[in-house]
Amino acid sequence: MIVHGGAGRVTGAADAAAYLDAVTEALARGVAELEYGARAAVIAAVTFMEECTLLNAGRGAVLAEDGSVRLDAGFMDGATRRFGGVAGVRRTATPVRIAESLAADGEFGRFLIGDAADEAARLAGIAETAPEELVTERSRRRERERVEDSTAPRGDTVGAVALDANGHVVAAVSTGGLAGKRVGRVGDASVVGAGFYADDATGAAVTTGIGEALLRHGTARRCLQFLADGCAIGVAARRALEELGAGESSDFGIGGLIVVDRHGTFAIDHDTPEMTAGWARPNEAAVVRARWR
């Protein structure tokens, strides 16, 4: 199992330590569920990160231009290749659960935005949260810092991929998107192929970073295409990131990704200063750190 808490730049030792602790706990919760399947594992990990109020997902995520929290999430099951995606969620603190429920809906899955996504949560029996309860004092502080300092971190994403004992892979991702984003903006996290992809024949990948660039290149699926073409998994991840960064300009890099193949080999890579991430197998010590380059 591999989990990440976002790629970019974390300011301050306290924040860095807290991010590491959050990812470590998410990883532990996911691994504890792995015996019940990859699906249960990634949902446990990502749900924790949505609820912990520290990371840019769920309660405590960054604020949009109107001061609200608007959440995106995605989920894909590698056994069926059904997916679920939601964007602009305002009344659910755990949008990854909506995305998971939509993956079972229809021939291929479903992608819903705004009120339709919140209604899907209600129909699935997922707890409703008042929009104002998604906003925390830390969210407000981060927005003030962004307005005052153009170099302040503007957002990130959380995600998880897992391979279970039955050979199934699953990917899940969740985010509050870009701080100060235009209302209605949709990033990569809810879009299959860009922010996430899973196929038992190859593996599962999740991305994080500048959503518009990830959307342009379809980075999650692109990584798995390199893998299917015969690239070693580390090479596949690196090529996907290099392709992502070609022609783009950013002082802090474009993003990162996590990927696991059907044999249990994995890669964690990024072109940003940091990417808080970790991996673990049942009955083995977890490895979590902020830099993987």
Overall average pLDDT of the 65-83 stretch: 97
Where does the pLDDT of residue 246 fall: very low under 50, low under 70, confident under 90, or very high at 90 and above?
Answer: confident
Could you give the C-alpha distances from 204 to 196, 225, 255, in angstroms and in order? Answer: 8, 11, 17
Where does the pLDDT of residue 251 fall: very low under 50, low under 70, confident under 90, or very high at 90 and above?
Answer: low
Assigned token pair, 248: 């783009």
Annotated catalytic residues are 157
Overall average pLDDT of the 75-80 stretch: 98
> Does the domain formed by 2-289 have CATH 3.60.20.30?
yes
For residue 137, the model assigns a pLDDT of 92
What's the number of CA atoms in the CB half-sphere (13 Å) around residue 236?
28
For residue 293, the model assigns a pLDDT of 83
- List, for residues 113-124, the tens digit of each pLDDT value: 999 999 999 999
- List, for residues 4-41, the tens digit of each pLDDT value: 999 877 656 667 889 999 999 999 999 999 999 999 99
d(CA 57, CA 158): 7
Overall average pLDDT of the 147-169 stretch: 84
In which order are the strands placed within the sheet that holds 266-270?
A: 196-199, 203-209, 255-261, 266-270
Find residue 7's DSSP bridge partners: 275
Where does the pLDDT of residue 150 fall: very low under 50, low under 70, confident under 90, or very high at 90 and above?
Answer: low
pLDDT at 44 over 80: yes
pLDDT at 152 over 60: no
**Domain spans of the chain, in order of start:** 2-289
d(CA 157, CA 72): 10
What's the chain's average pLDDT? 92
Comparing CA positions, the residue from 200, 279, 207, 290 lying closest to residue 30 is: 279
173 C-beta neighbours (distance < 10 Å), count: 33
pLDDT at 148 over 90: no
Comparing CA positions, the residue from 173, 156, 198 lying closest to residue 26 is: 173
Overall average pLDDT of the 40-69 stretch: 95
